[in-house]
Structure 1
Amino acid sequence: MSVVEAVLTRIPQPYRDVAIRHREFVKFAFVGGTTWVIDTAVFLLLKATVLVEKPLTAKIIAVLVATIVSYVLNREWSFRTRGGRERHHEAALFFLISGIGVAVYTAPLAISRYVLDLKVPGVSLLAQEIADFVSGQVLGVLAGMAFRWWAFRRFVFPDENVRRQVPVVGD
């Protein structure tokens, strides 16, 4: 039994049927959660060390690192049966859409910092850090996830059941 099947058997009804029907989204969300952890760790590390005065730069770098991991995991697991494009074209579209996603991800942080002016000295350091986290890691990630889910299925992996469906360990 695969990891996904084992997890699905533990979900109570009627939620199990919903999860099974939306298995691709569940996998996409799991990949998103994994890359969110990567994104968050890189963002907080950079912002606390070498990019203290440049939170947007820290965020962009964090998103780019997470995006590379996201491509591999989404292609090989979440959307493994979808395709319809040559690999180089698919990768180019994935990174183009993810680049647009960077703007979607960083917009709430930019608004928080530079429109609402939620930064030191106008607010306390704690308030600044909470605002950065909520706007960059919660609101930005949710907006980016919604955009990427739609765009990946529409443009990057447009066709269903076109790649071999070889069982993947952990699927």
Structure 2
Amino acid sequence: MESVLSHTPESVRSVLIKHRELLKFGIVGGTTFVVDNGVWYLLKLSVLEDKPTTAKAIAIIVATIVSYVLNREWSFRTRGGRERHHEAALFFVISGLAVVVNLIPLLVSRYGLHLEVPNVSRLVQETADFLSGSIIGMLLAMVFRFWAFKKWVFPDELGQRRRDLTLRR
């Protein structure tokens, strides 16, 4: 990240540094977006063809595990300070709530608006699934996660206490 910043104009660099956590969180989000959609389409176009919501839930769980590791070790590495098991439990509880947030648009699209075969063409169904499950749902869940992770999982005051202790040693 530092090498990228050294090649960035000063006016942009200061904004990136100020919002470093958000930028890193976004990169992690982009990575988990690929993981989520890769797993979802692999499952829904094969063994879970008749259960797209179940396939999406499994994909979100896999992506959430990847997200925890990347956020803990990179995005929010200077925050936190809780014991790992407590922090992980909070992360997964909040991520579980985010799964619900993520699935709501897909559920509305499929079962509320009936945007599924035979009511619509396969192309319309897949487009609606992608827009509702991978764009709208994921964006809503991402906003919720960023806010909740900063507030409860990786609160800065715990990270500040840890940094202060390190400086005193």
- TM-score when scaled to structure 2? 0.91
Residues 81 and 162, structure 1, Cα contact 8 Å, conserved in 2: no
SS at match of 1:56: helix
Residues 82 and 162, structure 1, Cα contact 8 Å, conserved in 2: no
Partner of 2:150: 153
Question: In structure 1, what is the Cα distance between the partners aligned to 2:120 and 2:162?
Answer: 52
**Please, which of 14, 24, 27 is the counterpart of residue 27 of structure 1?**
24
Q: Does 1:49 align with 2:39?
A: no
Partner of 1:119: 116
Aligned pairs (5 A) from 1:68-83: 68-83=65-80
Count how many residue pairs are aligned between Structure 1 and Structure 2: 162
Gaps of 5+ in 1: 165-171
Gaps of 5+ in 2: 164-169
Please report how far the alpha carbon of residue 149 of structure 1 lies from its aligned counterpart in structure 2 after TM superposition: 0.1
Residues 105 and 141, structure 1, Cα contact 8 Å, conserved in 2: yes
Please report how far the alpha carbon of residue 11 of structure 1 lies from its aligned counterpart in structure 2 after TM superposition: 3.5
**Larger RCO (CA under 8 A, 6+ residues apart):** 1
Aligned pairs (5 A) from 1:1-171: 4-159=1-156, 160-163=159-162
Please report how far the alpha carbon of residue 70 of structure 1 lies from its aligned counterpart in structure 2 after TM superposition: 0.6
What is the aligned-residue RMSD (CA, Å)?
1.5
Normalized per residue, the structure richer in helix is 2
- TM-score when scaled to structure 1? 0.90
Percent identity over the alignment?
63
